Chain A
Amino acid sequence: EAGVTQSPTHLIKTRGQQATLRCSPISGHTSVYWYQQALGLGLQFLLWYDEGEERNRGNFPPRFSGRQFPNYSSELNVNALELEDSALYLCASSFWGGRHNSPLHFGNGTRLTVT
């Protein structure tokens, strides 16, 4: 069984540009989560998608957005990049039954560097 896959593994952008990060969940998982791990700040919850809809988002500005496709894969878009957006972006997936969640499976992350 393939794990959660993220692409690209590394991404270098300049300030003001847009970045697009992609995530494919484990087969059978309907939920995708995005997290940001900036240097010195620890992991922070960004977004949760389930069945194609955004279910919850963390305390991030609207220039962080995303979507989930019918095949449950997901895309994270970061517009108007700022230097402090440089971080490791992790995706995770699970099966959300409406009340109880299955354990999370994480991808290896996309390291975004903004210069």
Chain B
Amino acid sequence: KNEVEQSPQNLTAQEGEFITINCSYSVGISALHWLQQHPGGGIVSLFMLSSGKKKHGRLIATINIQEKHSSLHITASHPRDSAVYICAVDALLLRGGATNKLIFGTGTLLAVQP
């Protein structure tokens, strides 16, 4: 079992739909990252969070530390949102220090159709 699991693996939506991508992890973490990767490879960091909820434009990320679960929501989706969305966690050492060693989920391929 992977330490970071994402669902769904593939998602097709119509423009304007509300989208949710889920991420579950099994290790202790200092932070969780949501990343966006467009064709060609470049990666953009969308959110880094360790508790609660963050919002940036049409994107919302939430995390529940007790349940080891995070969600990325996209409101009013648009074709330009089409990309791979990757969840990654900064694992904690057993004694509590940060490793800064990201463990990545396998990504969610999102296609938003006009």
- Cβ contact within 8 Å between B102 and A105: no
By the criterion CB–CB under 8 Å, are B42 and A43 in contact? Answer: no
Mark interface residues in B13-44 (1 if CB within 8 Å of A CB, else 0): 00000000000000000110101000011111
Rounded to whole angstroms, the CA-CA distance of A58 and B99 in the bound complex is: 11
With both beta carbons as reference points, the residue of chain A lying nearest to B106 in the complex is identified as A42
Q: Bound complex: CA of A101 vs CA of B42, how far in Å?
A: 21
Task: Determine whether A64 belongs to the interface, using a CB cutoff of 8 Å to chain B.
Answer: no
B31 lies within 8 A of A101 (CB): yes
Residues of B within 8 A of A14 (CB): none
Whether B103 is near chain A, meaning CB under 8 Å from some CB there, is yes
- How many pairs of A and B residues are in contact by the CB < 8 Å rule? 59
Q: Is the interface of B mostly helix, strand, loop or mixed?
A: strand
* B98 contacts A by Cβ under 8 Å: yes
- Give Cα A56–Cα B100 distance, bound, in whole angstroms: 8
Within 55-114 of B, Cβ neighbours of A (below 8 Å) are at 86, 88, 90, 98-107
Q: Does B48 contact A (CB under 8 A)?
A: yes
The yes or no answer to A37 lying at the interface (CB within 8 A) is yes
Interface positions of A from 56 to 92, Cβ below 8 Å from B: 56, 58, 88, 90, 92
Question: Given the interface contacts A42-B107, A88-B41, A105-B45, does A35 sit within 8 Å of B101 by beta carbon?
Answer: no
Whether the Cβ atoms of B100 and A43 lie closer than 8 Å is no
Contact of A48 among B35, B41, B100, B105 (CB under 8 A): B100
Contact A109 B98 (CB under 8 A): no
For the complex, give the distance between the alpha carbons of A29 and B105 in Å: 25
Tell me if A31 counts as interface (CB < 8 A to partner B).
yes
Chain A residue numbers with a CB within 8 Å of B30 are 100-101
Does A58 lie within 8 Å of B48, measured CB to CB? Answer: no
- 15 A–B pairs (Cβ distance < 8 Å), ordered by A: A33-B102, A43-B86, A43-B88, A43-B102, A48-B100, A48-B101, A56-B99, A56-B100, A90-B43, A92-B43, A101-B31, A101-B48, A101-B90, A104-B48, A106-B44
